[in-house]
């Protein structure tokens, strides 16, 4: 059995931001790396998200660093694996063996 000790996220919109918000609301340990300037798809990531800027980094470097600092990766996606979820899955270098994939059918 694995005990969850910390949520690691880059703070992007969707599941990553939701995981951080839920952890913060529950006072559960959380954090991670974000691109320099706290860049996200919807603008700057709020300072309330306890993330550390990775100097000179963009999305791919941020994702790789968060994967390296984690013991596991959960990828949740709808339809085809693409975009940020696709980059995350590729960055693990362990797909599918060590990464948990939860595919939700469209319309459910």
Q: Is 2 inside any structural domain?
A: no
- How many Å apart are CA 16 and CA 37, to the nearest integer? 17
Cβ atoms of 29 and 9 closer than 8 Å? no
Looking at residue 77, which CATH number applies to its domain? 3.40.50.450
Range of the domain at 66: 7-104
Q: Is 1 inside any structural domain?
A: no
Identify the residue with better confidence: 102 or 79.
79
Q: Is 38 inside any structural domain?
A: yes
For residue 15, the model assigns a pLDDT of: 84
State pLDDT tens for residues 41-100. Answer: 899 999 989 999 999 878 888 888 888 888 877 776 666 665 666 666 666 665 444 445
DSSP run (H or E) holding 84 = helix 83-92
pLDDT over 90 (residue 101): no
Q: Is 20 inside any structural domain?
A: yes
For residue 81, the model assigns a pLDDT of: 61
Environment class of 44 (CB within 10 Å of its CB; exposed 0-12, middle 13-18, buried 19+): exposed
Please, which residues bridge with residue 8 across strands? 31
Number of domains in the chain: 1
Q: pTM to 2 decimals?
A: 0.74
Q: Is 61 inside any structural domain?
A: yes
């Amino acid at each position: 059995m694995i005990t969850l000790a910390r949520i690691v996220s880059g703070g992007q919109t969707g599941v990553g931001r939701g995981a951080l918000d839920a952890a913060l609301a529950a006072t559960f340990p959380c954090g991670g790396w974000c691109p320099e300037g706290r860049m996200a798809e919807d603008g700057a990531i709020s300072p309330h998200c306890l993330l550390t800027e990775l100097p000179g980094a963009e999305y791919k470097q941020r994702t790789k660093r968060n994967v390296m600092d984690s013991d596991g990766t959960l990828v949740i996606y709808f339809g085809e694996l693409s975009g940020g979820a696709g980059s995350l899955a590729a960055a693990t270098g362990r797909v599918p063996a060590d990464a948990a994939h939860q595919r939700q059918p469209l319309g459910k």
